[in-house]
Amino acid sequence: MPNLPPRDAIRCAATDLFVRDGYAATTVRAIAAAAGCDPALVIRHFGSKEALFLETVPASADLPRVLAGPIESLGRELVRFVLAASESPVAGVYRALLSASDRPEIRERLRSSMHDVFVGPLANRIGGHSPELRARLVAAQFTGLINAYWLVADPVLRSADRQVIVSFYGDAIQRLLDSADPA
Amino acid sequence: MPNLPPRDAIRCAATDLFVRDGYAATTVRAIAAAAGCDPALVIRHFGSKEALFLETVPASADLPRVLAGPIESLGRELVRFVLAASESPVAGVYRALLSASDRPEIRERLRSSMHDVFVGPLANRIGGHSPELRARLVAAQFTGLINAYWLVADPVLRSADRQVIVSFYGDAIQRLLDSADPA
DNA sequence: GTCTATACGCTGATAGAC
DNA sequence: GTCTATCAGCGTATAGAC
């Protein structure tokens, strides 16, 4: 953390702490300490802790690239993306968002960022019946896996062969991507 | 709320408030007020707010019945169960658990109750390859749908024809239930 | 304008008197 | 057993120093 302007230093510190510790466990005072400034300054610059959260915790930048890949292997590719998310901030960001999910504005953010970065791009690429709806259901499968793997972190899941998860879960997603008509 | 013993009155009030408002937004003082007793009594009886939460917020009682049904239609039945969850407390309980998910002990609870009530019973009923793993992946799909429908509450999803969701998502779950070997 | 110092009303939790 | 008094810490607001 070199000599950044205070506003950027606060943003940096806030992102790190929110993603690492969640919303409730991250205090304004801790952010200020990590940024090397006064707690009051945090509020002065961003209005509130919640506003700071909404401004700092970002959507994933890698996801659009995955969603732009070939549609016939997208199911498995999405699963690979989730399982490899330890190096990207996706897992932490998602956990942070869920940990603040009892706040209506943050639920709204969860919805809108999911739509902008996932549902929208995907709905345009899949054919068949109700693409808008099916894209949302694919998103549900996607978040379900993030949830199980990175939040609940079930040991059996975490120690399982990744290839097997990719096959099983990827094909289940693919099923939804390919299905043309509701039976 | 008739004249219950204080301990039970606290439990009742706590369940209602946690499920309705989430963990952080529910204060010990509000629970005490709803139970008609002193805030200190709440802590005195249960040790802490978190311990009260863990003792109070229950697992779903209806789920075992669904999981005991015929395996060949279980996918769609699970989806019907989720979509009808407004009358059961499942949706609220799940939201409450997620809203407290930055607490390690509550994540542990999320994991254990998911295992006891879902993964365990299901793994015993499905054949094929890695039933333990596949049961967990089905659970991931299941929670993903709860998440999308009851927490994020995407309007498109909420206003969609339930039968269509049952067909699409149910068949994707069924795919995982039926799959015998990873490709 | 940028920042610090201070304070307010809330929270979960504790100690000790009835 | 139950309530009163009180604690330290929280998010937040404001007054005023540089």
According to DSSP, residue A62 is labeled S
Smallest CA–CA distance, residue A5 to chain B, in Å, is 30
Q: Using a CB-CB distance cutoff of 8 angstroms, which residues of chain A are in contact with residue B107?
A: 151-153
Residues of B in contact with A99 (CB under 8 A): 99, 101-102
Flag whether residue A107 sits within 8 Å of chain B, measured between CB atoms.
yes
Q: What is the pLDDT of residue A70?
A: 97
Q: Output the distance from B39 CA to D8 C1' rounded to whole Å.
A: 18
* CA nearest to A25 within chain B: B102
Instruction: Say if residues A148 and B139 touch (Cβ distance below 8 Å).
Output: yes
- A177 min Cα distance to partner chain B (Å): 10
**Cβ of residue A20 closer than 8 Å to a chain B Cβ:** no
Q: How many CA atoms lie within 13 A of B32 on its CB side?
A: 14
Cα dihedral B27→B32→B33→B36 (10° resolution): 170
DSSP 8-state code for residue A72: G
Say yes or no to pLDDT of B34 above 80.
yes
- Nucleotide with smallest C1' distance to residue A41 CA: C3
pLDDT at A87 over 90: no
Of B101, B134, B175, the CB nearest to A175: B175
Q: Contact, B147 vs A144, CB < 8 A?
A: yes
Is the pLDDT confidence value at B182 over 80?
no
Q: What is the mean pLDDT of residues B91-97?
A: 91
pTM for the full predicted model:
0.94
In the DSSP assignment, the letter for residue B161 is -
Residue in B99, B115, B168 nearest the CB of A176: B168
Quickly list DSSP for B91-142: HHHHHHHHHTTTSHHHHHHHHHHHIIIIIHHHHTT--SS-HHHHHHHHHHHH
Residue B78's closest CA among B112, B22, B118? Answer: B118
Residue B120 pLDDT grade (very low, low, confident, very high; cuts 50, 70, 90): very high
pLDDT at B38: 95
Residues ≥6 apart with Cβ < 8 Å to A40 = none
- Averaged over A11-32, what is the pLDDT? 96
The tokens describing B133, both together, are 């793993």
Q: Does B68 touch chain A (CB under 8 A)?
A: no
State residue B72's pLDDT score: 96
Preferred mutation among B50, B105, B157, B181 to probe A, highest tally of A CBs within 10 A: B157
C-alpha B10/C-alpha B97 separation (Å) is 19
- Asked if residue B126 lies in contact with residue B134, where contact means CB atoms within 8 angstroms, the answer is yes
In this model, does residue B60 exceed pLDDT 80? Answer: no
Residue (of A88, A55, A76) closest to A141 by Cα position: A76
**Among candidates B145, B57, B28, which has minimal Cα distance to A147?**
B145
Q: What is the pLDDT of residues A91-141, one digit of tens each?
A: 899 999 999 999 999 999 999 999 999 999 999 999 899 999 999 999 999
Chain A neighbours among B 123-182 (CB < 8 Å)? 130, 132-134, 136-137, 139-145, 147-149, 151-154, 156-157, 160, 163-165, 167-169, 171-173, 175-176, 179, 182
| C-beta of residue B129 within 8 angstroms of C-beta of residue B43 | no
Task: Answer whether B143 sits within 8 Å of A145, measured CB to CB.
Answer: no
Q: CA of B65: how far to CAs of A28, B68, B118, B144, in Å?
A: 46, 5, 11, 21
> Taking 70 as the threshold, does the pLDDT of residue B13 lie above it?
yes
Statement: residue B141 has pLDDT above 60: yes
Quick check: A114 and B142 CB within 8 A?
A: no
pLDDT bracket for residue B2 (50, 70, 90): low
Confidence of residue A66 (pLDDT cuts 50, 70, 90): very high
Mean pLDDT of chain B: 93
Q: Smallest Cα–Cα separation from B147: which of B99, B87, B75? A: B99
Q: What is the pLDDT of residue A22?
A: 95
Q: How far is A64 from chain B (nearest CA, A)?
A: 20
Contacts of B42 (CB under 8 A, 6+ apart): B10, B14, B28, B31, B32, B35, B49, B52
Average pLDDT over residues B24-50: 97
